[in-house]
Amino acid sequence: MGTSIQNIRGFSDVLPDEGPIWRFVEDTFRHELERYGYAEIRLPIVEKTELFSRSIGEVTDIVEKEMYTFTDRNGDSLTLRPEGTAGCVRAALQRGLLHNARPRLWYAGPMFRHERPQKGRYRQFHQVGAEAFGVSGPELDAELILLSGRILRALGIDGLRLELNNLGTIEARRRYRAALIEHLQAHEGWLDDDARRRLHTNPLRILDTKNPQMAEVIRTAPDLGDYLDETSRQHFHDLRAMLDAAGQPYTANSRLVRGLDYYGGTVFEWISDSLGAQGTVLAGGRYDILVEMMGGRPTPAIGFAAGLERLVALVEAAGSAPAAPSVHAALVAVDEDLQADTVALAESLRDRLPWLRLQLPIGGGSMKSQLRRADRSGAALALIRGAEESAAGEIIIKDLRGDAEQYAVAIERLPEILSPLEST
């Protein structure tokens, strides 16, 4: 016997009562991104596996253990996208969007990572991402970071902090990596299994550990800031001056390394303390080497992506999303014989008043139960059709939210009666 569908649990649903918050978050992103000249690009959810392993990095957590990878009927290895940057760069490169222009692109949609689910961490989650190409100066970093701050403010979320770092050039990171490995090896007895495993593959990620046993080893580790090359140091300095001038507070955190290999130079994260361990709501940085790595001309680039589930949780807690609009009116037919006629009347009202949100408590039942359904729909008015009134070309208007007496009017006057509801 098969398992009941009811017992099959997989990925999360977004239920109707959460819809308005999701829409508010998505609309806010779209609105602000468009104000800064970003154009939407819609990208496939499935890509060749190689795209991700080569760009995100073979020894990152994502590629090593989190990708949903399968072989299709042609024998090609495909992967459900774990993030959007790789696909966005691929599309921009293949479609010639990078030349003769300085494109600014944004995208939204589901991403997939086979992580251990917990609060704020899901196997299918949603991101809005933004990517800007062709400018290497810190003014682009500053504008992108200020844009992300503006979006988060527009969402009405308080208490987020901005952390900022510069990862330097590949050469600077190589020197730092060697010094870090040396330090970690000298304290090998304190390292946990995960750190031992990463020691020679991805030692910078060890700095991200949450294991208290390693706190002291991490605290005394060499500082990436001391290894920065002169150009990166100047870039970081100029970026900080620009954020200061714009009044944007931040914390410089030389331990902020990010989990994807394509980063170099500026990296940043917006973090909330009220989401537990998964507090990063928006994160990004420069990836000046990626376009060239993927076969294009050297093209500097920077971007970010935000995790929508985490932002929705914060917006819900802040109560900053506007409530979903309820229907303006419900049209109730008391008499079964009037049903066909009532459906036609509803259609003609919808034709004449394009703003009108009108619900038919379809399914009949007594007048009382229909009115109960009309009330639950949130409608301001019930429009009641009785046999007598219909014969006289009239309809009854009942105020569902106040205690005004109900009254009958000529059906032709309905648009006039309903018009004050347009602004609600």
Kindly determine how many residues on this chain lie close enough to bind ligand HAM according to the rule CB under 6 A.
25
In the chain, the amino acid numbered 90 is: R
Give the end-to-end CA distance of the chain in Å, rounded to a whole number.
52
CA distance 420 to 292: 59
Q: How far apart are CA 213 and CA 201, in angstroms?
A: 21
Site membership for ligand HAM, residue 125 (CB under 6 A): yes
Number of residue whose CB is nearest ligand HAM: 307
Beta-bridged to residue 132, according to DSSP, are 104, 302
Token readout for 40 is 């939407």
Minimum CB separation of residue 419 from ligand HAM in Å reads: 44
Minimum gap (Å) between residue 246 Cβ and ligand HAM: 21
**Using CB under 6 A as the criterion, what x/- string covers residues 85-104 for binding ligand HAM?**
x-------------------
Instruction: Write the binding mask 50 to 69 for ligand HAM: x where contact by CB under 6 A, - elsewhere.
Output: --------------------
Q: Indicate the residue type of 70.
A: F
Residue 113 lies near ligand HAM (rule: CB under 6 A) = yes
Query: Least separation, in Å, of the C-beta of 19 and ligand HAM?
Result: 19
Cβ of residue 149: shortest distance to ligand HAM, in angstroms? 15
312 and 18 Cβ atoms separated by less than 8 Å? yes
- If the CB atoms of residues 110 and 222 are measured against ligand HAM, the closer one turns out to be 110
Judged by CB under 6 A, the residue of 129, 138, 149, 300 near ligand HAM is 129
Helices 308-318 and 19-35 sit at what angle, rounded to 10 degrees?
110
CA distance 197 to 390: 79
d(CA 13, CA 26) in angstroms, rounded, equals 16
Contact between 38 and ligand HAM per CB under 6 A: no
From 116-124, 169-177, 218-226, 321-329, give the range in contact with ligand HAM by CB under 6 A.
116-124
Find the binding residues for ligand HAM in span 259-318 (CB under 6 A): 259, 280-281, 283-285, 287, 303-305, 307, 309-310
Determine, following the binding rule CB under 6 A, whether residue 29 of this chain makes contact with ligand HAM. no
- 385: Cβ contacts below 8 Å, ≥ 6 apart: 331, 332, 333, 334, 335, 338, 341, 342, 345, 395, 396
Query: 121 has which bridge partners?
Result: 118
- Rule CB under 6 A: say whether 133 interacts with ligand HAM: no
Minimum distance, C-beta of residue 121 to ligand HAM, in the bound complex (Å):
4
Query: How big is the CA angle at 249 (ends 244 and 252), to the nearest 5 degrees?
Result: 90
Q: Which amino acid is at 58?
A: E
Query: Which of residues 121, 183, 240, 357 is near ligand HAM by CB under 6 A?
Result: 121
Distance of CA 32 to the CA centre of its chain: 14
Q: Name the residues that contact ligand HAM, by CB under 6 A.
A: 83-85, 113, 115, 120-122, 125, 127, 129, 131, 259, 280-281, 283-285, 287, 303-305, 307, 309-310
